[in-house]
Amino acid sequence: MSSWLDYTINGLIVGNVYALVAVGLALIFGVSRLINFAQGSIYLVGAYIGWVAVVQLHTPLPLTIIVVAVAAAIVGLIIERFGLRPLQNSVRIAPLLATIGISFVLDQLVMLTFSPNPRALPSQLPDVRFQLGGGTIGPLDLLIAGVGLTSALLLFVFLRYSKLGWAVRAASQDRDAAMQMGVDVNRVNQAVFGIAAALGGVSGMLVGMYYNQIDTAMSLQATLKGVVAEVVGGAGNVPGAVIGSLLLGLVESYGVAVFGTSYRNLFAFLLLVVVLVLRPNGLFASARQAPPEPLTGTFIAPSRPVRIPRWALAVAAGGFAVLPLFPVSFYVLQTLINAWLLGMLALSLTLVAGTIGQVSLGHAALLAIGAYTSALLSLTFSVPAGLAIIGGGLMSAALGTALISPSFRLRGHYVSIATLAIGEIVSLVILNWEGVTRGPIGISGIPPLSLFGYDLISPTSIYWFSFAVMVVLALLQGRLLTSHLGRSFRAIRDDDVAARAYGLSLNRYKSLAFIFGGFAAGVSGGIAAHLYSYINHETFNTQQSILALTVVILGGLGNVVGAIVGSVALVGLPEVFRIAAEYRILIYGIVLLLLVRFRPQGLLGTI
Amino acid sequence: MAQSLMLSLRGLTRRFGGLTAVDAIDLDLAKGELVSIIGPNGAGKTTLFNLVTGLDRPDDGTVHFEGQDVTGLSPERLAAEGIARTFQLGRVFGNLSVMDNVLIGAHTRLRAVKPAVPVIGPLLELGLALLRPASVKAEEERLREEVKAILARFGERLLPRIDQPAYSLSYANRRRVEIARALALKPRLLLLDEPTAGMNPTETAEMQGLVAELKAEGLTILLIEHKLEMVMRLSDRVIVMDEGKKIAEGPGEQVRGDPKVIEAYLGHGLATERESAA
Ligand SMILES: Nc1ncnc2c1ncn2[C@@H]1O[C@H](COP(=O)(O)OP(=O)(O)OP(=O)(O)O)[C@@H](O)[C@H]1O
Ligand SMILES: [Mg+2]
């Protein structure tokens, strides 16, 4: 019995921490209908500022909290001013992509400054536990509860009794009406970003103290947990976010009690998917409210695609095809092989995110499904690699589509959250389903690529193989775009309401897009598995998803040629300029931000 | 329900929180009839359209289309049944060309490329779209010709811009594209939500001519329109809504003189003036 009380206390404490993140997300969503994917990065920044304060400056605890809150708030204000305010009048996809880019830049900056190794963050509190009923509670638990309650109280007073707080509430009820009544939306945005960041930063610091460890992987987890809590409570609903957080904390804590620690996140994401599907407006909203996003307005930037004549494409393709006949180094071929593999993933993502407008943040999961399927087919059933890769593509198409299908009713930012969560679920299942995936050990000894009984081992043959597969996929996708499906996909992206009114079933066409895209990504993962000969649950991670997204934005959403050009550019240029690996992700993030701001249609234009 | 009735609404109601946007509306529309719905801003006209086309579900009441109960069916289904609409604020597909916009209108009429096979139908559709056998090509070609014929109804307004993306068109032309898209569905019931909003007098006259033509061709039309001139010319009957309720119904001239209607317009007219002054 006593342990149950412990689990309850633990759940409520962790829930309290989530609440600090989720309340900020809810405030921001309330006034700007934006899910701030950078919230977890601020939390990360808060944790590391806390570390600097405690370990290097030896600040006393109250001062540490103030330092963290103020520093995090400044980061929040900078994000609002320079990252988001310039995008106020842009298309709806822009702020979404911007917060994703900001989050990557911040995470990488922290990683470069402090190294990715975990650090200890001592809590500065005496290490005693008090008996409470049948369980125990420590001073840190009390501190977290105290900070949670105090912030809730302060926030309540601010929203209820201050003029700015009134403006925040007015703007979240009806932004246009508030503006007409003279509410300064920029000030409101500043206020909510400042508050959200301060809360998020303090939360990161408290979590670091709670586990006495901080590392850069905290960021994504925090964003996900905060978003789960916020969506469970109803996007934009501040009290709902608190309740959603406590609920999430309890669900996780009891889940861990019954099934073990490695299932903690699985419960969180399953809760998210269930809520998104059954009650997309949250547990506390009436099911039939106005849709959470404006019905009108364009999702992507209108543009005219750059027309590249066919002969030019043919010449370029021919050039790359004969390249290995010239004395080029192994290194060049290796780099281009990576570009072709990324190109297949980008083709898939440009179809899903660009052509039909479902901005997927979990696309690497499709790689993983294809890779595992292909590896297991060839290892367990001795299927030749060529066929196994096709099997991987088909499995990725089928399973990927089935997994994402519950979220076909969602729009905009919600799709991104759902795909992010599903991506995490896939990697957690791979980690935990040891009977099939060999769990954390991964799969080794995957046979090399082969075609019609011949092993493809030389870099030249691997180069030709991957290039040919990518070209075939690109040609098929180009053909798809000129068919009635191409226009149907694009119509759904531009205006799903009008599309439905003209008989286009969203389920049917989103499925078809994911089937086609899933196949390309699965094939890419399959080839990668045979090339690497070893894969595990971390081989295909969120960084690849974000890299692919940057490629897609760079090339132009939906643009087939753009996806390939973007892949060659983002794989090749860092090699040409010999940029160290740890700076690359930072550069991808910056590239994404600059594109969103200055050339949202990408290099070759949206199709 | 009588067979000649195209559309029949009974007690149709939609509430948003405390507000009843559509309040127990009854309406019968015979085949070939053109009925206009007028009423001050916020009267619930667009919401009524949303209920008929499945974009919103009623809290109460029924919708019968050609004698069939279609209450609460999805918009996709209703489009397939032959209901087409335009949107008040204009909802063209911005990045699609004029041709593609109007071809989407013909989507429910695709047969060759969309075999009506259960379960694997979507996969067949994907395969056929990629392989494009002769039947699929022929169907696409035929629809393209039809689109050109529809666009020709708008004179030289749209035909020269057939390959331009819709976002690059003028406002009036985007409205025309919407109507062309609706016609491409070969609708049995056409719902037009303020087709002349934001148009100048010449353009309005053109649009009025087109709607008159469609009516003469026997199309059944439900029209929301603020320009009373046009309503009086075109309508067989006029329905006046205010605060969700039907407050008058009858021939144009009769409705126009109805004191209740005048009051509704005057009362709200003053209110809106005050609002816009603030
Ligand atoms: N999704 C929604 N959620 C909440 N209220 C809504 C929603 N849609 C419409 N309303 C409200 O319902 C009422 C009727 O709106 P509707 O758009 O149907 O009016 P209308 O007669 O078309 O007006 P107009 O002439 O301005 O187009 C309005 O008060 C509007 O604010
Ligand atoms: Mg209206």
ipTM for this prediction: 0.92
A208 vs chain B: nearest CA distance in angstroms?
44
Q: Are residues A347 and A251 in the same domain?
A: no
Q: Based on the domain organization, do A334 and A475 belong to the same domain?
A: yes
Phi/psi at B192 (5° precision): -110, 120
Which residue, of A259, A274, A299, is where some domain finishes? A259
Residue from A300, A303, A502 to probe the interface with B (highest B Cβ count within 10 Å): A502
Token output for A219: 């960021």
Q: What is the Cα gyration radius of chain B?
A: 20
Model confidence at B50, in pLDDT bands (50, 70, 90)? very high
In whole numbers, what is the pLDDT of chain A averaged over residues?
88
A442 lies in the same domain as A316: yes
Q: What is the tens place of the pLDDT at every residue in A454-512? A: 888 888 999 999 999 999 999 999 999 999 999 999 999 988 899 999 999 999 999 99
Structure token pair of residue A114 = 């402090």
Q: What are the beta bridge partners of residue B69?
A: B64
**Chain B residues with CB-CB distance to A under 8 A?**
16, 53-55, 57, 74-76, 79-80, 84-85, 87, 89, 91-96, 100-101, 103-105, 107-108, 110, 113, 122-123, 125-126, 129-130, 132, 140, 165, 167-168, 181, 185, 278
Which structural domain range is residue A56 located in?
A: 2-259
Residue-level pLDDT at A420: 86
A239 and A314 housed in the same domain: no
CA–centroid distance, B34 to ligand 2, in Å, is 18
Tokens of B41: 């801003």
Which class for A445: exposed (0-12), middle (13-18), buried (19 or more C-beta within 10 A)?
exposed
> Do A247 and A381 belong together in one domain?
no
A471 and A402 fall within a common domain? yes
Residue nearest to atom 16 of ligand 1 (CA): B44
A346/A520 Cα distance (integer angstroms): 9
Ligand nearest to the CA of B242: 1
As a three-state string, the secondary structure of A455-511 is ECCCHHHHHHHHHHHHHHHHHHHHHHHCCHHHHHHHHHHHCHHHHHHCCCCHHHHHH
| CA of B21 relative to ligand 1 center, distance in Å | 6
- Of the candidates B80, B87, B104, the beta carbon closest to that of A488 is on B104
Give burial (CB, 10 Å; 0-12/13-18/19+) of A527.
Answer: buried
A&B contacts, CB < 8 Å: 107
- Chain A partners within 8 Å of B278 (Cβ): 180
Contact assessment for residue A367 and residue A537, using Cβ atoms and an 8 Å cutoff: no
Residue found under tokens 């709200």: B268
Q: Which two tokens stand for residue A504?
A: 């286009």
- Report the alpha-carbon distance of residue A522 to residue A312 in Å, rounded: 29
Please report where in the chains the tokens 């934001």 appear, as a residue. B198
For the segment A220-238, the average pLDDT, to the nearest whole number, is 86
Q: Do A500 and B75 touch (CB under 8 A)?
A: yes
Residues A254 and A314 in one domain: no
Contact between residue B69 and residue B5 where contact means Cβ atoms under 8 Å apart: no
The total domain count for chain A is 2
Q: What is the pLDDT of residue A502?
A: 96
Assigned domain for A290 exists: no
pLDDT band for position A216 (cuts 50, 70, 90):
confident
Q: Rounded to an integer, what distance in angstroms lies between the CA atom of residue A414 and that of residue A416?
A: 5
Report CA-CA distances (Å) from A606 to A327, A552, A561: 37, 10, 11
Question: For residues A344 and A526, what is the distance between their CA atoms, to the nearest angstrom?
Answer: 11
Alpha-carbon distance of B138 to A50, in angstroms, equals: 69
What angle do helix axes A330-349 and A459-481 make, rounded to 10 degrees? 20
As a whole number of angstroms, the distance between CA A233 and CA A282 comes to 5
Do A18 and A85 fall within a single domain? yes
Q: What is the CATH number of the domain that holds A433?
A: 1.10.3470
For residue A434, what are the CA distances in angstroms to A192, A403, A509, A516, A532?
44, 20, 35, 29, 21
Whether residues A208 and A357 fall in one domain:
no
pLDDT score for A376: 96
A301 vs B contacts (CB less than 8 Å): none
Give the ligand 1 atom nearest the CA of B56. 1
Beta bridge partners of B224: B37, B193
Q: Give the three-class secondary structure for B95.
A: coil
Yes or no, beta carbons of B76 and A500 under 8 Å apart: yes
Q: Do B85 and A501 touch (CB under 8 A)?
A: yes
For range B127-133, the mean pLDDT:
95
Q: Distance between CA atoms of A39 and A189, rounded to whole angstroms?
A: 15
* CB proximity A499 to B under 8 Å: yes
Domain B2-277: which CATH class? alpha beta
In this structure, which residue's CA is closest to atom 2 in ligand 1?
A: A290
Residues A118 and A225 in one domain: yes
pLDDT digits (tens, 9 = 90+) for A179-198: 888 888 888 989 999 999 99
Residue A74 pLDDT > 70:
yes
pTM of the model: 0.90
DSSP-H helix ranges across A407-458:
413-432, 434-437
Query: Ligand 1 pocket, B50 CB below 6 A?
Result: no
